[in-house]
Structure 1
């Protein structure tokens, strides 16, 4: 028996400490990732709740994506449309599960941008604590955790390896590009 799952994506974010040679490209992103500013994105196809999506992102050395500008939002929307052929609803790293209506990002970065759809966030049924993009064209919506979305787009920060070359190839970044936390610690 087939299960009907809505087709919605999620975005991940990670910091990757690489050189172009180590990554197999000339922009500092791991193979298969697309650069934007100081970060890289990649599309994944999967069916997950918001929490499962975040865990999946972490398994790729990432977090659900944080979005900090209209340009970054447009880039992410375009990346999703390029991968899916539509403006598919997509989990991003925004949530207010710690305190209602106090929105934050899973990567710990500052909540400095939002593009909510009209009437959002509305916390319908007092259980909508997670952010999806492409709710109304390119706008955001708060939604409940147990709703299954499909596909993902992780995001990574560009880095360069120090001359010593002693640091591991992949590390997490938090808040600022120069603040590092080893994998699994965020």
Structure 2
């Protein structure tokens, strides 16, 4: 199963995916400093295929994943990113807005979570959604009705998905490093004093 997903992801990448350059939602503007990228695969992908393709991507040394939208502010930011990408991609008529995001309830029906395993704390469902139509809608598509969400089935396919990358964290200086530097400094000072004596 995993081999098929990775093969599908590779096919999607080789199909000439169009994408907008990653855009950062900065902390200065109220964001989380994560980077987001809209991918138009130009082929139809299931949520699982889009998820595998997102995980195969990286930016600034960070692995990608289907976007988790955890606040109204993040939704608003991504509305702008997705809409800007759509209007800048006239080759598909400027109307193909809907895209896979990282939400699902495939583990427990009705308990939606992000690919990280984090339960939904914010939702943006369209009226009447999620409805588990046909008894098999486990995956979340964004921008289905305006900028709202819909649950969709495992056989459903879309050509767009949104990838999120965490912000690279600064590597902390080990606590022992300043102590070691101080120790070497003291040893050097003692060594110089002995030479003088």
TM-score range relative to shorter protein:
0.5 to 0.7
Equivalent residue for 1:67? 69
Equivalent residue for 2:167? 158
3-state SS in 2 of match to 1:42:
strand
Deviations 1:30-83 (A, max 9, x none): x93210122101122213110000000010122111101111111112111111
CA drift at 1:136: 1.3
Question: TM-score of the superposition, structure 2-length normalised?
Answer: 0.63
Which of these residues, 84, 95, 104, is aligned with residue 82 of structure 1? 84
List runs of 5+ in structure 2 lacking aligned partners.
1-19, 26-30, 58-62, 88-94, 174-197
Q: How does 1:161-172 map to 2 (within 5 A)?
A: 161-162=170-171
3-state SS in 1 of match to 2:144:
coil
- Backbone CA RMSD of aligned residues: 1.8
Equivalent residue for 1:114? 123
Query: Which consecutive aligned stretches of 4+ in structure 1 deviate over 3 angstroms post-superposition?
Result: none
Highest CA radius of gyration, 1 or 2? 2
- Larger proportion of strand: 1
Size of the aligned set, in residue pairs, is 134
Distance 2:73 2:21 in 1: 21
Equivalent residue for 1:58? 55
- Larger proportion of helix: 2
1:100 is the counterpart of 2:102: no
Distance 2:123 2:36 in 1: 19
Greater RCO between the two (CA within 8 Å, min separation 6)?
Answer: 1
Equivalent residue for 1:39? 34
